[in-house]
Amino acid sequence: MHHAYIDHLSTLDSPVHRLDPRAKLACALLYCAAVASLPVSRPLLPAWCVPPLAAAVAASRLPLRYLARRCLMLCAFAASVALFFPFTLARGDVAAAIGPLKVYTGGLAAAGSILFRFALTTLAVLVLACTTPFPRLLRAMQWFGLPRLFIMVLAFLYRYLFVLVDEADRIARARDSRCPSRRGRWTVTPAILGMLFVRSVDRSDRIYAAMLSRGFDGAVRVLDGLAFRRADAAVLAGLAIYLSLFLAAFLGGWCPA
Amino acid sequence: MSHAIAARDLAFTYHDGTAALRGVSFEVVRGETVALVGPNGSGKTTLLLHLNGILRPAAGTLHVCGRSVGPAALPEIRSKVGVVFQHADDQLFMPTVFDDVAFGPLHMGLPPGEVRERVARALEQVGLAGFEARAPHHLSGGEKKVAAIATVLSMSPQILVMDEPTGSLDHRSRRRLIGLLASLPQTLLIATHDLGLVAEICRRTIILDAGRVAADGPTAAILADAPLLARHGLEPPAPPAART
């Protein structure tokens, strides 16, 4: 079985795909930090952060429908939290009353701000993930000093997630072919999960043996193969300057919205 | 010592009490291609895992490339004995083909330039040049098998040990793999149920059964002895015309 649908966009070609993963990761972190630092009381202020993201999306040539669908899916989590803000954050005037519940303007603004900023940061991370092959992203994380053990865990997760999904599919097919009733299927699910766990433990033993056979001594060594070019520096500097000017303008009170 | 492998009275018992090897003795000379055949549970995989020190014998001695297999010699022995495991997914544990093939050379302490050269050469040798950036889960079964072989060829081993190299391969991939194995200059020890493969590339065959060497001799003689094969749960390979 092929799982190309999981990371197929990262192998496309575009100016954003060609950027060094460290530059992209730094840009995404800068962007998310800037957007997250905006106050909840001004829901339209994050609109100033839209242009650099829109430019990145346009340059990446990623399918807009795909990005929108993923973004909406993830925003559902933020929405489930933001939903309570208009009723519980008693700031500003009462905009409406639904029975005993009061809707506050301050709460509405906070909900709007959180949703807007969540959507922007989620989209930024999606652009990063969809334009960078995961192994290169791990290299960038390692370069930024994330613990090697953490990187190793992520690398193994990425490598064996697909194998585990295949294994689960095979077991589920075997179950379905012998267990026609829906209720019966649910009753054997815990046994299937246990079986997956046991097989994973067995597999981990074999993988460890394969690693030892090739000289593993506790540290995974890789050649990073990364190259930071002028274009990477220019993009990173451009974003940093834009966000700095915007934040300075906001702190100086010159930002409308 | 001129033997690539010299095992004398090897014995091994798993934690659950299963005696997997019960006094196995054999020798393999440099450049030989030897098949290790036998029924399931006969101890083939256990024996292979002794050859680079993954498992340690409870009794007996084992010499590989003239060195006794022990803790002090493990780094050297593991660079000389390339083990290709039965399931390619266990062998290919890194996120990309390049990283996987480079894993061995990097852990041998080789400089980056030489690592890149070795990776390129190994992938070229197995016909996977251009697959460097591919993720293992995007490879077909046959490609995974040869990529797994490339992961050990990049270490330039003197001995190649393979566990079921043709298992679950389609006809074309199996043919391609047999061609590759026949072209390798290393000493080969191949544990397999594929007696067609054995007939084609191994001059010598060892039958292992219940943890003991049941027969050891020229492949042609062993494969022609139908009663011997039957006693050890094996079947002579079909003649070439009848093979699929």
**pLDDT, position A243:** 95
**What DSSP character marks residue A91?**
-
Interface test with B, best of A157, A213, A216 (most B CBs within 10 A): A213
Q: Report the gap between the CA of B59 and the closest CA in chain A (Å).
A: 21
pLDDT score, position B68: 93
* Residue found by looking up tokens 């100016």 in the block: A15
Contact A162 B137 (CB under 8 A): yes
Q: How far is B15 from chain A (nearest CA, A)?
A: 14
| CB atoms B54 and A209 under 8 Å | yes
pLDDT value for B184: 93
Residue B148: pLDDT band (50, 70, 90) is very high
Model pTM? 0.81
- Using CA atoms, how far residue A106 sits from A86, A119, A255, in Å, is 7, 20, 20
Amino acid at site A105: T
Q: Do A211 and B138 touch (CB under 8 A)?
A: no
Task: Test B75 with A221 for CB contact under 8 angstroms.
Answer: no
In angstroms, the separation between the Cα of residue B134 and the nearest Cα of chain A is: 10
Out of B83, B94, B133, name the one closest to residue A159 (CB): B94
| Torsion (CA) B219, B220, B223, B228 in degrees, nearest 10 | -80
Give the Cα separation of A9 and A197 in Å (integer): 31
Low-confidence ranges of chain A (pLDDT < 50): 1-2
User: B90, A210: Cβ pair inside 8 Å?
Assistant: yes
pLDDT, averaged across chain B: 92
What is the predicted pLDDT for the residue at A6?
61
Tell me what the mean pLDDT of segment B131-145 comes to.
Answer: 90
Reference A16, options A120, A129, A123; nearest CA is A129
Say yes or no: B133 contacts chain A, CB-CB below 8 A. Answer: yes
B120-149: average pLDDT: 92
Chain A CB contacts of B133 under 8 Å are 11, 133
CATH code: domain of residue B32: 3.40.50.300
Within 10 A of A223 (CB to CB), how many other CB atoms are there?
16
Residue B236 reports pLDDT greater than 90: no
Does the distance separating the beta carbons of B115 and A223 come in below 8 Å? yes
**Residue A196 · residue A171 · CB < 8 Å:** yes
Confidence at residue A4, expressed as pLDDT on a 0 to 100 scale: 53
pLDDT computed for residue A96 by the predictor: 85
Share of chain B above pLDDT 70, in %: 97
SS3 A53: helix
Instruction: Convert the pLDDT of each residue in B71-86 to its tens digit.
Output: 889 989 999 999 999 9
Its ipTM equals 0.85
Residue range of the domain that includes B11? 3-242
Structural domains in chain B (count): 1
| Cβ contact A222–B82 (<8 Å) | no
What letter represents residue A139's amino acid?
A: R
pLDDT at B37 over 60: yes
- Is residue B167's pLDDT more than 80? yes
Check residue B94 and give its pLDDT. 93
So what's the pLDDT on residue A1?
46
Residue among B138, B146, B89 nearest B122 (CA): B146
What stretches of A83-221 show up as alpha helix (H) in DSSP?
85-88, 105-131, 134-143, 148-178, 182-213
Which among A134, A209, A215 is the nearest to B108, CB-wise? A215
Give me the residue label for tokens 């379905």. A176
